[in-house]
Homo-oligomer: A and B are copies of this chain.
Amino acid sequence: MSATIEDVARAAQVSVATVSRALRGLPNVAPSTRERVVAVAKELEYVADPTASRLAGGQRLVIGLVVPMLGQWYYAKLFSGVEAVATVAGYDVLPFTTSGPGGSQRFVQQLPFRKRVDGLILADAPFDDAQFTAVARTGVPMVSLGAFAPGVSGIAVDNVAAAELAVGHLTALGHTRIALIGGSPDDPFRFSVPVDRFHGYQEALRAAGLRFDPTLVVPGNFSADGGAEAMHRLLLAPTPPTAVFACSDEMAIGAIQVARDAGLRVPEDLSVIGIDDHDISAYVGLTTIHQDVIGQGERVAHLLLDRLRSDGEIDVLHERHPTRLVVRRTTAPPPVGDPPAGRRG
């Protein structure tokens, strides 16, 4: 196999303790000794076995990232942001997914992260209070993303405000029948996010003096497929909306396609606005609310690392990340008179 610390010690004619100290830059090593050890280590292509260091050092050097799923745009970006800063700090990042079979229930029951991570990032964690408490009871340091919890630091965009911004844009254009495509009530993930955006939606309607119509609220599952299906539902209504606020860009894109297939022009007959500013949103002309997902990932990782370094008590802080409206080509004033009753079997 490859060289162990003992091989290096022997070759450099020092003890393993000295090798350990020399290679890690600890004090109390004579410069000449250190040089020799470093040279030998290089010669032997020695690298320390992280498993052994971690056991001996009492640190796992791993941070867990709890997400509903990987593979979706938002979480992939998030992961890459987190990974970038964690790597620099010498930590690995280990993903835990809470959707899929068993879901968050399984996560909370098995607490699969115990003894595996030094800290946890809970991203859009779909936990109720009891579940959250169960996780917190393990004593593993954690930070949250996407929502705030008492006692744990976290960052999030103001989803209520973001939704208000989106819907406010539509009301300002003159729309009065505005639909919401969001998560489902029993959404297995992104728990607070769709709820907050729903509240922002209601708030914006109220601010514009519009009546809330529950038939205009449909679930979309945060995927393009879900958005498409939601749009189908909306077009079946006796008087379809003239504008749609989708709680993610993927859903918005799915919805737009269905509307166009049904003969509606976007934005002339139907305005659509999303949230996220997905990489390709600019290229489909989608009006949306921008947020910096990678930046959030980097920031939340730093938050956790700070927490880990100063293991003494640190202030819990709840940080809001900015969002902004990006107007492109899928929103416009509503059609004058009755909207064309475009529909589709």
> Are B80's CB and A71's CB within 8 A?
yes
Contact A224–B94 (Cβ < 8 Å): no
- A116's closest neighbor in chain B, by CB? B50
Q: Mark A245-256, 1 if CB is under 8 A from B, else 0.
A: 000001001101
Which of A150-158, A191-199, A277-285, A316-324 lies at the interface? A277-285
Task: Give the shortest distance, in Å, between A264 (CB) and chain B (any CB).
Answer: 15
Residues of A111-145 contacting chain B, CB below 8 A: 111, 114-116, 138
Do B224 and A283 touch across chains, with their CB atoms under 8 A apart? yes
- Is A55 an interface residue when CB atoms closer than 8 A count as contact? yes
Which B residue's beta carbon lies closest to that of A87? B97
Residues of B within 8 A of A282 (CB): 224, 257
Smallest Cβ-Cβ distance to A1: which chain B residue:
B139
Cβ B280 vs Cβ A253 within 8 A:
yes
Contact at B77–A71, with CB atoms within 8 Å?
yes
The interface on chain A, measured as residues whose beta carbon lies within 8 A of the other chain's beta carbons, has a size of 47
Task: Tell me the residues in window 27-79 of chain A with beta carbons closer than 8 Å to chain B beta carbons.
Answer: 47-52, 54-55, 60, 69-73, 75-77, 79
Copies in the complex: 2
The residue from B60, B69, B81, B228 contacting A283, defined by CB atoms under 8 A apart: B228
Residues of B within 8 A of A81 (CB): 71
Inter-chain contacts of A83 with B (CB < 8 A)? 70, 95, 97
On chain B, the residues within 8 Å of A253 by CB distance are 280, 283-284
From the candidates B47, B48, B55, B294, name the one contacting A55 in the complex (CB within 8 A).
B55
Do A70 and B60 contact each other (CB < 8 Å), given the known contacts A55-B51, A55-B55, A115-B51? no
- Whether B224 pairs with A115 at a CB distance below 8 angstroms is no
Known A-B contacts: A71-B294, A79-B79. Give 20 more (CB < 8 A): A2-B138, A47-B111, A47-B115, A49-B55, A50-B115, A51-B60, A51-B115, A51-B116, A69-B80, A70-B83, A71-B80, A73-B73, A76-B76, A92-B94, A223-B279, A224-B280, A253-B280, A257-B282, A257-B285, A284-B284
What residues of chain B lie closer than 8 Å to A48, measured between beta carbons? 115
Mark contacts of A271-299 with chain B using CB atoms, 8 A cut-off: 1 yes-contact digit, 0 otherwise. 00000000110111100000000100000
- Binary interface profile of A, 69-107, with partner B (CB < 8 Å = 1, else 0)? 111110111011101000000001011010000000000
Q: How far is the CA of A81 from the CA of B71 in the complex (A)?
A: 8
Task: Please list 23 pairs of residues, one from A and one from B, whose beta carbons are closer than 8 Å in the complex, sorted by A's number.
Answer: A47-B111, A50-B116, A51-B60, A52-B55, A55-B55, A70-B76, A70-B80, A71-B80, A71-B81, A71-B294, A76-B76, A79-B79, A83-B97, A92-B94, A223-B279, A224-B280, A224-B282, A227-B283, A228-B283, A250-B280, A253-B280, A280-B280, A284-B284
CB-contact partner of A257 in B69, B95, B283, under 8 A: B283
